[in-house]
Chain A
Amino acid sequence: TQLLEQSPQFLSIQEGENLTVYCNSSSVFSSLQWYRQEPGEGPVLLVTVVTGGEVKKLKRLTFQFGDARKDSSLHITAAQPGDTGLYLCAGLNTGNQFYFGTGTSLTVIP
C-alpha cells in the first residue's frame, strides 16, 4: 500500500527555472522527511519537518509541511544541473517507521 503520492512523477526543466514537488497522503504523519537520491546511491536526507505549517529553507530549497500534517511540498528556486536526482518524501507513521513516497525524478538541463 502506497501511503504517500508524489507529483509530478517526472520533471524536466531548464537551468534557472523554479519548480515545486508535492507529497500528498490521506494519513497524518508525526513527521515527514525529504530525501534526494542520485543514480547508484542511497537516498540522502535533506530535511525533517515536524510541526504542521512548518517551513524550512535549505539554500535554494524550501520545504513546507501542511497544516494538517498530511502533505508537504518542496520548492526549488533557480534550479541547477546539480539538483538533478530522485526526490523522495517519507512520512513517519504511528509505528515509528518511515514509508516513502512514489518519488519525483528531476532533470535540470544546462
Chain B
Amino acid sequence: DAGVTQSPTHLIKTRGQQVTLRCSPKSGHDTVSWYQQALGQGPQFIFQYYEEEERQRGNFPDRFSGHQFPNYSSELNVNALLLGDSALYLCASSGQGAHGYTFGSGTRLTVV
C-alpha cells in the first residue's frame, strides 16, 4: 500500500520563477494538507484541500496556491519565487477515521 507520494524530490529554481509541486495521497485518504518546513523547525501550515476546494489556509501570501483533482491528488503552486521560499515542502493526507496525518517525504525546493 503506497503511502503519500511527492514529486519531484528536489528542485532548484531561480528567483521570480514559478514552481509546481505534486502530491498523491495515501490510498483511501481524501484530504490533502501542504506544509512548509525550514531546516530544524516545525512544519508551517499552508493550506488544506478537501473535495477539490481549499478548506483552510495558513498565513501564506497569495503567491501560494493549490489545486485538488477528482482523484484526490493535489498540486502546490508558488509564483514569483523568493529566496525565502527555499524549504522542504511536505504533503500530508488524511481521511475519515484516520488518526493523524500520513506525510510524504517532501520536496526540497532551493531558490537561487
Contact = CB atoms under 8 A, between A and B. Distances in A.
Given A43-B101, A90-B100, 9 more contacts: A42-B90, A48-B99, A48-B100, A88-B42, A97-B33, A98-B45, A99-B45, A100-B44, A103-B42
Contacts of B99: 45, 48
A42 B104 contact: yes
Interface of B: 4, 33, 35, 40-45, 48, 56, 59, 90, 92, 99-106
Contact of B103 (A4, A43, A103, A105): A43
A82 interface: no
Interface residues of A, number: 26
B45 A43 contact: no
A105 B40 contact: yes
A40 B105 CA distance: 7
Interface of A: 1-2, 4, 6, 33, 35, 40-45, 48, 86, 88, 90, 95-103, 105
B100 A33 contact: yes
A86 to B, nearest CB: 7
A93 to B, nearest CB: 9
B35, B43, B44, B104 pick with most chain A CB within 10 angstroms: B43
A1 B59 contact: yes
B42 A100 contact: yes
Contact of A42 (B40, B42, B56, B103): B103
A42 B106 contact: yes
B41 A95 contact: no
A42 B99 CA distance: 16
Contact of A102 (B41, B101, B103): B41
Given A40-B105, A42-B92, A97 B45 contact: yes
B101 A45 contact: yes
Minimum-distance CB pairs A-B, first 9:
A42-B103, A100-B42, A45-B100, A103-B42, A100-B43, A33-B100, A48-B99, A43-B103, A97-B56
5 contacts: A4-B42, A41-B105, A97-B33, A98-B101, A101-B42
